[in-house]
Structure formats: structure tokens, C-alpha cells
Amino acid sequence: MIKTVPARDRPAPERRNLSPAALYEHAIRRDEAVIVSTGALTAETGHHTGRSPKDKFFVKEPTSEGAIWWHPGNQPISSARFDGLLQKMDEFCDTHEVFTQDVFACADTRHRLRVRVVTELAWHSLFARNLFIRPTADELLSFEPDFTVISLPSVKADPKSDGTRSETFILVNLGRRIVIIGGTGYAGEIKKSIFTALNYLLPAKGVFPMHCSANVGSGGSDVALFFGLSGTGKTTLSADPSRRLIGDDEHGWSDSGVFNFEGGCYAKTIRIRKESEPEIYAATESFGTILENVVYDPRTRIPDYDSEEKTENTRAAYPVDLIPNAVLSGIGKHPSNVIFLSADAYGVLPPVARLDEKQIRHYFLSGYTAKVAGTERGVVEPEPIFSTCFASPFLVLPPERYADMLIERVNRHQAEVWMLNTGWVGGPYGVGQRMSIAHTRAIVRAVVQGRLHDQPAHVEPVFGLQIPDLVPDVPREVLDPRSSWPDPDEYDRQARKLRGMFEENIHSIGRSASTAG
């Protein structure tokens, strides 16, 4: 295991639990990052501008081997291979300056995980400090980690001798409670490695782990959950000025209610606008915030949030307390509403539909969104994205286990479940229009205020979805996707095509489950 002796006894310095200001200084000294005009720190992640799911492995070891959902996304690796790469990590830490942050995951102290994050980069240490829950000075005095994450981009694997796919690796050892990350500078691997661990640890304690954002009304009783993949509006819609943010990405649902796993937010910044996302925009322009791969003017240091020069996946990592109306405890009551977000580029899903129990299971296991394939002239065929339980890269147990937990809690606490299309209406990408954020916010507002609870609904013919007849501040023609298409017969063809994709995906999940192990 990685050495944890005091810095004074190590051959190379280990800098532990440094403040944001100190980590700024080290990041600048080491040429890792620069300060932009807003006071934020901006850094580049190198070749990897997103996660590397094909380079993630689970160590096949006795305590977890029988529980893991083994499928192409959860690849096995031997304990011997893990030990070899961990030894490389140890040797690196013996001869290089490293940074350590001791942090918590899980706002509910009954389920809290003490996490030690060891990083090669100073800005990665600040990232961990921003994204996880920060202990008090007294809590740090007796801190002993339950889980350790080691992220050293300079340590690369040799696929032939180390058994990896490439020089990049993310190895999860659930038995020894260690994750080692090498060959990638993308900081998101750090936070998602702990989310992966919690997807294994918490169900055994009766807690449902969720890849969702959460907010609550001013009265504290109408909690809403927002499940959705990247680009569907999960972070944007939960950061509502009229409601309080519990968290933007990862939560648990226990017998007591919901709680945030994290102490920060990791928001996409591409084309962010102060007018439409004022809370998030203000947080990106604060001291202590990290901007990832955001282009800036080299002379003025003014960020250009519209630029895709480095990646479209530009990000801001900041503490949740930079959101003015955040629930700093990270804890809420049982949710009244659960919302599945899909950005449907095929343009056939309705802007809002109420789901019954069978549909809840179907659409949760599907975890659907769609993205456009390119920016060429003319109509571009959308690409469907299915991520089981809206969290496929982070699931450790079979997906039905998580679906069962959701259904049980929804039924027990009488929560209503909705599907919202934040993508295209009136036709597919290239023909129709992107759903208005104003209309989507009006739909969310009607849902969380209970104004659709008794609203009459009609059934969409292809998917069998229940569409409310009326939503305040949303035109009737927007609500019914078929009637909004210039050619209803073309809608039927496109809808049947997408329904077939859903069915094939569900069958593939069943095949993976039947052959697991």
C-alpha cells in the first residue's frame, strides 16, 4: 500500500491538506496551471479531456469477485498486476513531490467514507478538496482513511507486462480499498473512482447510490432528483434560483432521505451564459475554482467559454458553498419527484411524461440520451447513448439491483417519476428545434410544485407515455411531439426506430447479466 509516513521522513516531500492559496502557489511554481482574470485557476488535462472507461479494471479478488457485474465495462485484472503497478506508484512517491488531501464522501455521517487522495499535481489536490467534503481541523487530527485514491499521470503502464489496454489505467481494488490512476491527467477520474466504490459499498447498507442532482424548495419538503447523462441539463436545472441545491451529481437515498456524496460541483462550462445560469457562472469566476481545458486570451487572461479548441467537455470544479442557495448540510428529505432527463436528438420523445412502474424500470435501465454526430451541413443522423441506470461506467453490481432499489423507494415514499426531453422538438436535429430552456424550466416548476399531479393526460401512441394535456407557460403544440412534426407519418417512423433501439438495448443488458461471472 502507498506509504503514509510523515513528510519529514520521506525522501521526497509530501504536502498534506494544503489550503487553496497554497495549492495555487504550488501549481503556478510547477507550471501546472495559470490564474485567469476572474481569479480562477485554469489547467489543461493533456491528451485525456474526459474519462477513459475502457482503461478501467476491477481487481479480481475473493471479497468482491462474486458480487461484481462482470461485463465488457467491468474488466477484471489480477491482484499480481495490481501489485506491480502499485509498486510503480510507491517508487514514484519516494522520489517525487506529491500532494495529499484527506476528505470525506457522503454528507450523512452514518454512511461517511474517509478518503485519502494522493496526487502528483497540485491542482489535482485542489480538485479533490473542492469536490469532496472538507473535514474540520479537529477531524483531521484523527483522520484514518477508509479508502485511498492515488493519481499519478506520469506513471504509465506497459500493456504487455502490466496487462492493461494502454499506458492509461484506472484499477479499483475493492478488497484493499485502493484505486490507482495513471497515464491520465483528467481529474474527473478521481471523483468517479469514489462514486464507483460507493456503488459497491452502500447497497449492502441499504442505501441506494444515484448518479443524479438534487434540489429542494424553500420549505424543505419537496425534494426533487434529476437523473441524466452529460448535456441533458442535470446541473443546470438543479441550480434553480428559486430552490436550494443539495448537490449536482451524486447522491444516496437512505431510510432517512437523500444526501450528497460530495462537497462540490463539476459543471460543464461550454457556452455558459450569465443570463441563463447565473449561479454556476458566478462560481466559475471565483477564487479557488478550477477551470479545466478552458481557452483564455494569453494577454488579458479572460476565459473564452465558447471555445471548443481543446474540447467541448470544458469544466469548472468548485465548492458547493459558492452556490448562494446551496444546502450546506448536503442532506434532504425523501424526494417527492424523480425526473429522468434525456436530450433526444431524434425529436420524438415528449417534453414531459409521467411514468408508471413498468416504464420507470424500463427508462431507468435504459439511461437514454442522444447526441448529434457532427456539424456538417444538412441533416445529421443522431447517435443514441444508453448508459444503464444513467451511470453505466460506475455500476459495480448488476443493474437490476439498483433498479429494484429505486422502485422500492419510489413506491414506499409515493414519489412521482417523470421523463423530460431537453433535446429536440418538432423534428430531429437539423429539422426541429432544441427545446427551449424557458419551457423546460416551466415544466420542472410545474412538476415540483405539484401542478401536474391531477392534470389530465393523453397517451402517446408509440411509446405509450402519458403526456399532460396542459403545463402552465408551455404552448400546447410543444407538449405533443407528433403534432409538432410537419409530417406525422415521418414522426411515427422515427419513433418506431427509436423504440426499437430501446428494446435492443434492454435485451443487451439482459444478455450481459445472464452471462456475467
What distance in Å separates the CA atoms of residue 514 and residue 511, rounded to the nearest whole number? 5
At 515 the pLDDT is: 54
- In-domain check, residue 444: yes
At 376 the pLDDT is: 34
Q: Which of 185, 208, 231 is the last residue of a domain?
A: 208
Q: Which of 208, 224, 244 is the last residue of a domain?
A: 208
- In-domain check, residue 147: yes
Mean pLDDT over 333-347 rounds to: 97
**What CATH number is given to the structural domain containing 122?**
3.40.449.10
At 509 the pLDDT is: 87
At 477 the pLDDT is: 86
SS (H, E, C) 248-306: CCCEEEECCEEEECCCEEEEECCCCCCCCCHHHHHHHCCCCCEEECCEECCCCCCEECC
- For residue 315, indicate whether it is catalytic: yes
Residue 516 has pLDDT above 70, yes or no: no
Catalytic pick from 211, 268, 354, 409? 211
Domain count, the chain: 2
- For residue 45, indicate whether it is catalytic: no
Chain segment 226-270, per-residue pLDDT in tens: 999 988 989 889 988 899 999 999 999 999 999 999 999 999 999
Catalytic pick from 56, 116, 156, 192? 192
- In-domain check, residue 413: yes
Q: Categorize the per-residue pLDDT at 93 as very low, low, confident or very high, splitting at 50, 70 and 90.
A: very high
At 382 the pLDDT is: 82
Chain segment 426-472, per-residue pLDDT in tens: 999 889 999 999 999 999 999 999 999 999 999 998 999 999 999 99
- For residue 192, indicate whether it is catalytic: yes
- For residue 329, indicate whether it is catalytic: no
Mean pLDDT over 171-197 rounds to: 98
At 514 the pLDDT is: 56
Q: Is 416 helix (H, G, I), strand (E, B) or coil?
A: strand
Catalytic pick from 230, 256, 286, 436? 230
Long-range contacts of 113-116 (CB under 8 A, 24+ apart): 113/146, 113/147, 113/194, 113/197, 113/198, 113/201, 114/143, 114/144, 114/145, 114/146, 114/147, 115/145, 115/146, 115/147, 115/148, 115/149, 115/194, 116/4, 116/143, 116/145, 116/147, 116/148, 116/149
Dihedral of CA atoms 23, 262, 321, 16 in degrees, nearest 10, equals -20
At 43 the pLDDT is: 98
Catalytic pick from 148, 249, 409, 422? 249
Chain segment 397-420, per-residue pLDDT in tens: 999 999 999 999 999 999 999 999
- For residue 54, indicate whether it is catalytic: no
- In-domain check, residue 489: yes
- In-domain check, residue 287: no
Chain segment 264-306, per-residue pLDDT in tens: 999 999 999 999 889 999 999 999 999 999 999 999 999 999 9
Q: How open is the CA angle 51-100-393, to the nearest 5 degrees?
A: 20
Residue 377 has pLDDT above 80, yes or no: no
Mean pLDDT over 144-149 rounds to: 98
At 62 the pLDDT is: 97
- For residue 211, indicate whether it is catalytic: yes
Chain segment 58-78, per-residue pLDDT in tens: 999 999 999 999 999 999 999
Q: Which domain holds residue 64?
A: 7-208
What distance in Å separates the CA atoms of residue 183 and residue 249, rounded to the nearest whole number? 25
Residue 188 has pLDDT above 60, yes or no: yes
Catalytic pick from 124, 129, 134, 234? 234
Catalytic pick from 26, 51, 111, 439? 51
Cell numbers that stand for 386 in this block:
444508453
- In-domain check, residue 403: yes
The torsion angles phi and psi of 133, rounded to 5 degrees, stand at -90, 130
Residue 375 has pLDDT above 50, yes or no: no
At 1 the pLDDT is: 45
Catalytic pick from 124, 134, 315, 354? 315
Catalytic pick from 164, 235, 289, 369? 235
356 and 492 in a single domain? The answer is yes
At 14 the pLDDT is: 76
Q: What percent of the chain has pLDDT above 70?
A: 95
At 5 the pLDDT is: 42
* Residue with the larger pLDDT of the pair 303 and 14: 303
Pairing of strands 290-292, 41-43: parallel
- For residue 119, indicate whether it is catalytic: no
Residue 46 has pLDDT above 50, yes or no: yes
What distance in Å separates the CA atoms of residue 441 and residue 418, rounded to the nearest whole number? 14
Dihedral sign for Cα 377, 378, 379, 381, please.
Answer: negative
**What CATH number is given to the structural domain containing 472?**
3.90.228.20
Residue 3 has pLDDT above 70, yes or no: no
Q: Which of 161, 183, 208 is the last residue of a domain?
A: 208
- In-domain check, residue 233: no
Q: What percent of the chain has pLDDT above 90?
A: 87
- In-domain check, residue 373: yes
* Residue with the larger pLDDT of the pair 60 and 6: 60
Residue 140 has pLDDT above 50, yes or no: yes
At 7 the pLDDT is: 46
- For residue 297, indicate whether it is catalytic: no
